[in-house]
Structures are given as C-alpha cells and as structure tokens.
Structure 1
C-alpha cells in the first residue's frame, strides 16, 4: 500500500483528500504545518508528499528547502497542490525538485489520484 503525506493547512480539504486517497488504497498521513510535515516525513518515510505552498509559519518553499537537506528523505517525490499561482514561486518549486505544481481548482480528487499514481 503506497504511503502519502499530505501537508495542507485547510483541514476540510485535507480530510477530503485523505478519504479519497484511502478509498483508492493509499495509506495517508496528514500534516497542517511545514514543521509537522517534516517530522512526519522523517518518521513515516512516505512514497510521495502532496504539498500546499501557503502554510502557517514556514511556507511550502521553506519545506522544500528543508527536505532537500535531509538526506534520508530528500529523494521522496513532491507534488505541489496549491491555490497560489505565482510564476516565481512555481519556478523556485521546480528548481527545488517538485515533480508537478498543480492548482487545486484545476483537479477533482479523482484526477489528483490519477496524477499521483504516475509517481509511485
């Protein structure tokens, strides 16, 4: 069963994604801040991280920088799922190694599952 970590501060959205991925056979962990996400990534070593950019405290870009420096988990693929559609931020995210930068409004939960599967 593939493990994914969802880092999303909007709890209703996070829960909706969690339920959808679990129905599709994934083991899902939720974090609501970058700090929680980094701790869970180290502990659970997920197969993929689904990351929001706008988070309380340290943002998603800060998380990507941390992840890159954590050798045990730096190779985990990351897909950004955000409402933040800023070209500079997208460029920086790709430079930090994200696989895709998706806008929440462009994908249904089912389409998101299909996108994620190709990285597992």
Structure 2
C-alpha cells in the first residue's frame, strides 16, 4: 500500500479546479437560460396584446348588422385603452454575465494566491 504522494496532491488540486470551472460554466448557462425565459415570456405577453387588438379588428369587420356596430364600439374601447407594455428587468438590477464571470475568476485567482 502506497502512502500519500505528490501525485495525489496534483489530483486533488486539478479536480478541485475542474469543479470550480464546471460550476462557473453551469452558473453562466443557468443565467443564459433565465434570460431566455424572461425574454420569451415578455414576447408572449406582447404577442397576446397584439392578438387581442387584431381579433377585435377582425371581429368588427366580419360581423354584420347590429352585432357589427357593437363590435366596432368594443374595438374603439379596446383601442382607447393605453397599452400596458411589459418591461424587461433592467440590467442594473442584475449584473451581466461578464461581471459574474470576472468576479468568479478573480475569486479563484485570489484563493490560489493565498
């Protein structure tokens, strides 16, 4: 049975650095995924608002008689309301990926120097 050697120490250090690297990459991709979900939700809300106005317009043009007048009134009511556009969270609330990655690398370098 062989005791603890320098190669064991190299193995511990390299696997620890690999773990830190993989964690940093996972954090980066999780942040990208979070941003994608946020943007796609925003786009869905905008599309829903546009679809609502489009359907009101189509309904007003397709109906005939008294129903058409009512539909046009509802279309005008819909268009008179101010559109409530959803807002994307500002970048000042959430640091950019580059800042997070730079901080992680700086922490690793600091830990290695100590």
Instruction: Give the shorter-chain TM-score range.
Output: under 0.3
Structure with the greater relative contact order (CA < 8 A, sep ≥ 6): 1 or 2? 2
Task: Give the number of the structure whose residues are more often strand, by fraction.
Answer: 1
Q: TM-score, normalised by structure 1?
A: 0.18
Greater gyration radius: 2
Task: Give the number of the structure whose residues are more often helix, by fraction.
Answer: 2
